[in-house]
Amino acid sequence: MSKNPPEVKYFEPPVYIAEADIKARVRELAQKINAEYGMQEITAICTLKGGIVFFTDLLRHLKMPVVCEFLGVSSYGNHTESTGEVKVTLDLNEPLIGRHVLVVEDIVDTGLTLSYLQDYLKMKKPASVKTAALLFKPEALKTPDLKIDYIGFEIPNRFVVGYGLDYAEKFRGLPYIGTLE
């Protein structure tokens, strides 16, 4: 029987990465993606729910034709650490055969979710699969062979919220990345 998360009273967590820094870095990542793909169409896959803010901001700066897909995945439940078990909660609508795929993730810590997704998507026979993650926690990585093509920020192994990231579904709407201590 799982425990319910402790009740979280809403407050403004301290800023860890400022909104202006996030916006600048998202533009830089988009420039790299634009340079790599040119005008070649891609299928961008947003991992829900946490990736939605990063995904939409990144899309605004991409120049090539983009087909948007959404994939619901969960490895946290109502915990502050990954459970290690990845669940697909919403699957893709379109086939990926022969398509260039860009997976857009909010955060990579253990790497288990992204590793699972890369294997899952490769079974769908795309032309290529690349990944973009806003945040990466190298200290927490449990999948040393994991490849992340575009990384926004490397951060220490601390629990962060905001800019789509949550704790028990709270704090997603913060325009910055904050910390919960």
Helix (H, G, I), strand (E, B) or coil at 136: strand
- Give me the pLDDT at residue 7, please: 62
pLDDT band at 9 (very low <50, low <70, confident <90, very high): low
Compute the mean pLDDT over every residue in the chain, rounded to the nearest whole number: 89
Domain coverage including residue 169: 15-179
Asked if residue 86 belongs to a domain, the reply is yes
The whole-number average pLDDT for the span 134-152 is 93
- Give me the pLDDT at residue 8, please: 56
Asked if residue 6 belongs to a domain, the reply is no
Among 80, 45, 48, 49, residue whose Cα is nearest residue 59: 45
Looking up tokens 């407050």 gives: 11
Report the predicted TM-score, pTM, of the whole model to 2 decimal places: 0.86
Total structural domains in the chain? 1
Asked if residue 5 belongs to a domain, the reply is no
Q: Is the pLDDT of residue 74 over 80?
A: no
Q: Is the pLDDT of residue 78 over 60?
A: no
DSSP type of residue 79: S
Asked if residue 69 belongs to a domain, the reply is yes
Tell me how far apart the alpha carbons of residues 79 and 4 are, in angstroms, rounded to a whole number.
9
Asked if residue 128 belongs to a domain, the reply is yes
Residues 79-89: tens digit of each pLDDT: 455 556 777 77
Asked if residue 60 belongs to a domain, the reply is yes
Catalytic positions: 109
- Give me the pLDDT at residue 76, please: 53
The whole-number average pLDDT for the span 108-123 is 91
Asked if residue 113 belongs to a domain, the reply is yes
pLDDT band at 147 (very low <50, low <70, confident <90, very high): very high
CATH code (residue 72): 3.40.50.2020
Helices (H) and strands (E) counted in the chain, each on its own, are 3, 9
Asked if residue 42 belongs to a domain, the reply is yes
Q: Is the pLDDT of residue 152 over 90?
A: yes
Residues 34-45: tens digit of each pLDDT: 999 999 999 999
Q: For residue 8, what are its two tokens?
A: 């979280």
